[in-house]
Every structure is written in structure tokens, then in C-alpha cells.
């Protein structure tokens, strides 16, 4: 009989002289026999064995229950080889020399946080509207070990050039891409720079561009992309009024208040990713 006491709580482990345990009881089978194998038995059945190589074999037909918890509940001082189920990511994970890694059916996957921001749209020329902000995406991605991922950083769109005729409209920003996340480039701001006034409306994008002021009437802002940004504001409709503000990641651009001051751009979003 071996007893180990902690306070008033006593744990007892019995190794019987016959290298076994009684039917209906639980205990350890002695390793004194020639095989040197240590067996854990419950109800007369060996549940697990520890071989002479110290490898453990589980013999039950049920299941092994692992530790379960959120990302915040990970061990504060992890060691290589730890395995647990992460309820935040809904993945089994293992601690490796490179940190916590997802466990999939075929490969180790690493969990990374990402922030992807596309290029902003260019502002319009000639009582022009503001360019829309590039689309913003953030989240967690599962990256497979040994796989190469291409990262694309989107550039901002060119601003418009005033001319009648000969003007050039502004351009949308370009997309940014990481793994399966694609942030859409911001929409260009409208401009009253052509005789036909075809580009006075703000364009759609991650966030929409603002509409230009135009003597042809109010010019609408472009639409934003759901989950990435908001619409641009509309431009005024008078001879000396200015354009609407471009949309932002968390708010629409302001409409022109029907004066020579442009509408404010939509608010952005803060991120704690460094």
C-alpha cells in the first residue's frame, strides 16, 4: 500500500502481491513480472498499459477527453506536446516549437490574426467628391504548414484631372489579398470634368466615393461593400458647391451641406493588431 496525503485528502494505490487486482476494483498491476509492463485496471479490465519504453497504450473502446477552453484560457506556460480543444477557434490545437498550431486531418495548421486594408479611391476633379476608403477586413485564418501564401498590398487610386474636354476621371483603389480574405479597393470620387458629366457620380468600392457637385443636379455617392466599408456622400447641385465625402470603414461619407465646403469623409475603424 502506497499513500500520498495532501491536507485531509488521501489517495491510495494498491499493488497486490499476485500482480493483479480484485474483480470489481481498480488498481495498478505490478511490473515485477518478466515483462516489466505496468497496467492500469478498472473493473477487472486493463484500461491502459505503460510499456518498458514508457509509451502509454490506451485499450478502451470509448474516447479520450482532452482539455477544453478558449484561446484566453490557454496554459500560461505551455510546453511542446500539449494538446487541447480551443472553443474560440473550434479547432484542436497542439503546442509546438513555433507556438500553438491547429490540428487538422492531414496537416498542422497555424492560427494567425490578420488585418487587410485595400487601397483608397482617388478624389474627383472639378468640384469633386472624396475617394472612398479601401475595404477593411480582420479576423483569424488557418494556415497550413509548408504552404506558400501570396500577399497583395493594394495601391491607392489616381486622382482626377480637371479638363473640359480632356479631363481624366479618378480611379478606384486596388484590392489587397491575404489567403482567402480579399479587401476591395475604395471607390473613386465623382468629378465634374467632362462635358457629358458622366463621371460626376461616386463609384462603388470597399467604401464608396463621394459624388461631385454638379450644375446638372445632386450627384450620388458610391456604395460600399458589406462588411468592409460604407457609402460615400452625395455632392451638391449648385454652381459653387463642393462634393460629398468618401465613405469610411465604420461610417458613411457626409453629404455636401450645399456650400463650398466638401462633405466630411466617413470614420475609419481602430485595430489593436500591431
Give residue-wise pLDDT tens across range 152-181.
999 999 999 887 677 788 999 999 999 889
- Which of 33-37, 71-75, 82-86 is the least confident region? 33-37
Cα 56-96-91 angle, rounded to 5 deg: 85
What would the pLDDT profile of 80-131 be if each residue is shown by its tens digit? 999 999 999 888 899 999 899 888 765 567 788 899 999 999 999 888 899 9
Report pLDDT for 20.
47
Confidence band of 225 (pLDDT split at 50, 70, 90)? very high
Handedness of CA 186, 191, 193, 194 (dihedral sign): positive
The phi and psi torsions of 5 (rounded to 5 degrees) equal -110, 135
Give the residue with greater pLDDT, 198 vs 199: 199
Report pLDDT for 63.
87
pLDDT above 90 (res 49): no
pLDDT above 70 (res 26): no
Report pLDDT for 120.
97
Cα first-last separation, the chain: 57
pLDDT above 60 (res 18): no
* Bridge pairing between strands 83-86 and 67-69: parallel
Contacts of 141 (CB under 8 A, 6+ apart): 111, 112, 114, 178, 179, 180, 181
pLDDT above 60 (res 273): yes
Report pLDDT for 107.
57
pLDDT above 90 (res 134): yes
Q: Which residue has 500482480 as its cell numbers? A: 19
Report pLDDT for 64.
86
Rounded distance, CA 244 to CA 130, Å? 6
Do 232 and 210 touch, CB atoms closer than 8 A? Answer: yes
Positions of E strands within the chain: 2-6, 9-13, 26-29, 38-42, 45-50, 56-58, 67-69, 83-86, 91-96, 99-103, 108-117, 136-144, 151-152, 176-178, 181-183
Q: Mean pLDDT of all residues in the chain?
A: 83
Q: Which of 7-11, 183-187, 197-201, 260-264 has the highest mean pLDDT?
A: 183-187
What percentage of the chain has pLDDT greater than the value 70? 81
pLDDT above 80 (res 185): yes
pLDDT above 90 (res 33): no
When pLDDT is averaged across residues 33-43 and rounded to a whole number, the result is 75
Report pLDDT for 91.
85
Amino acid at each position: 500500500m502506497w499513500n500520498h496525503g495532501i491536507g485531509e485528502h488521501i489517495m491510495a494505490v494498491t499493488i497486490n502481491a499476485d500482480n493483479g487486482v480484485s474483480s470489481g476494483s481498480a488498481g495498478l498491476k505490478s511490473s515485477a513480472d518478466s515483462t516489466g509492463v505496468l497496467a492500469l485496471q478498472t473493473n477487472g479490465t486493463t484500461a491502459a498499459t505503460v510499456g518498458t519504453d514508457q509509451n502509454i497504450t490506451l485499450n478502451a473502446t470509448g474516447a479520450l477527453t482532452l482539455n477544453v477552453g478558449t484561446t484566453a484560457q490557454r496554459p500560461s506556460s505551455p510546453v511542446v506536446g500539449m494538446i487541447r480543444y480551443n472553443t474560440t477557434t473550434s479547432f484542436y490545437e497542439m503546442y509546438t516549437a513555433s507556438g500553438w498550431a491547429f490540428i487538422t486531418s492531414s496537416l498542422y495548421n497555424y492560427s494567425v490574426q490578420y488585418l487587410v486594408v485595400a487601397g483608397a479611391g482617388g478624389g474627383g476633379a472639378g468640384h469633386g467628391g472624396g475617394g472612398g476608403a479601401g475595404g477593411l477586413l480582420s479576423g483569424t485564418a488557418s494556415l497550413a504548414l509548408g504552404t506558400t501564401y501570396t500577399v497583395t498590398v493594394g495601391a491607392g487610386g489616381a486622382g482626377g484631372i480637371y479638363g473640359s474636354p480632356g479631363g481624366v476621371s479618378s480611379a478606384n483603389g486596388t484590392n489587397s489579398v491575404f489567403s482567402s480574405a480579399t479587401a476591395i479597393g475604395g471607390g473613386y470620387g465623382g468629378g465634374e470634368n467632362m462635358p457629358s458629366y458622366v463621371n460626376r457620380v461616386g463609384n462603388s468600392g470597399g467604401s464608396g466615393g463621394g459624388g461631385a457637385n454638379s450644375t446638372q443636379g445632386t450627384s450620388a455617392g458610391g456604395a460600399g461593400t458589406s462588411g468592409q466599408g460604407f457609402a460615400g456622400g452625395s455632392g451638391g447641385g449648385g454652381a459653387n458647391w463642393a462634393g460629398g465625402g468618401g465613405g469610411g470603414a465604420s461610417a458613411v461619407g457626409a453629404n455636401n451641406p450645399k456650400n463650398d465646403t466638401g462633405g466630411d469623409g466617413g470614420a475609419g475603424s481602430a485595430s489593436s493588431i500591431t
